[in-house]
Amino acid sequence: MSLVVGVGARRGVTAREVCDLVAAVLREAGRGPGDVVALATVAAKAGEPGLVEAAARLGVPLRAHPADVLARVRVPHPSDAALAATGTPSVAEAAALAEAVAVAEAVAVARTTGPDGPGGTGRTSGTDRADRADGADRLTGGELLVPKRRSASPGARVTCAVAVAYRGERLPPEGSGYHRGDAVFDLPGAVSNR
């Protein structure tokens, strides 16, 4: 299972604050740090030292998404404060979902190009051959596993949410799942949630 942790943070947040909240949220989800493939945030926060160091401690990349992209992702807990500070009503949830879609798509591409990658031998797994043989148009997407949580420290300087990246024939039966074909999530020309 590939998990993405979306993180929103105030200036000056420490890596310890971020890692403590990430650990608590992963425990809530019944998962561990080894399941996390990336931290994600809004582009304006990508250079925040506490976020950069937290990603390094977790051994995962810190992925940044532009505020206008995140603003188009429908989330269960939009925030006027986040909108005023970053230009998007959600950082943690929207970044987790946006990156989960990117991760799922990257996995789908890697699986269909074979173990040697593009231009390789073209060998694929039996599942991939079956996918192409039956003409299935597999969806890639993300679903919030844990919605936005705030740190317990005074001033709540960090928020995070956990999304799971998936590839399959269907969207999750309920909840906040998204795939590239959703009108609100199709990045080029997407419909705003505002």
The residue among 131 and 73 whose pLDDT is bigger is: 73
Task: Specify the pLDDT at position 172.
Answer: 46
Distance CA 153, CA 156 (A): 5
| Residue 119 region by backbone torsions, left for phi larger than 0, else alpha for psi between -120 and 50, else beta | left
Residue-wise pLDDT tens digits, 31-42: 999 999 999 999
Region 82-109: what's the mean pLDDT? 86
List CB contacts of 71: < 8 A, sequence separation 6 or more.
Answer: 83, 87, 88, 89, 90, 94, 192, 193, 194
The residue among 3 and 122 whose pLDDT is bigger is: 3
The residue among 82 and 133 whose pLDDT is bigger is: 82
E strands of the chain, at which residues? 2-9, 36-42, 62-65, 139-150, 158-168, 177-179
Where residue 146 falls among pLDDT bands split at 50, 70, 90?
Answer: confident
Residue 93 contacts residue 25 (beta carbons within 8 Å):
no
Where residue 159 falls among pLDDT bands split at 50, 70, 90?
Answer: very high
Q: Which two tokens stand for residue 154?
A: 């005074």
Distance CA 46, CA 31 (A): 25
Distance CA 122, CA 26 (A): 37
Q: Which two tokens stand for residue 140?
A: 């890639």
Region 111-127: what's the mean pLDDT? 46
Question: CB count, 10 Å around CB of 115?
Answer: 12
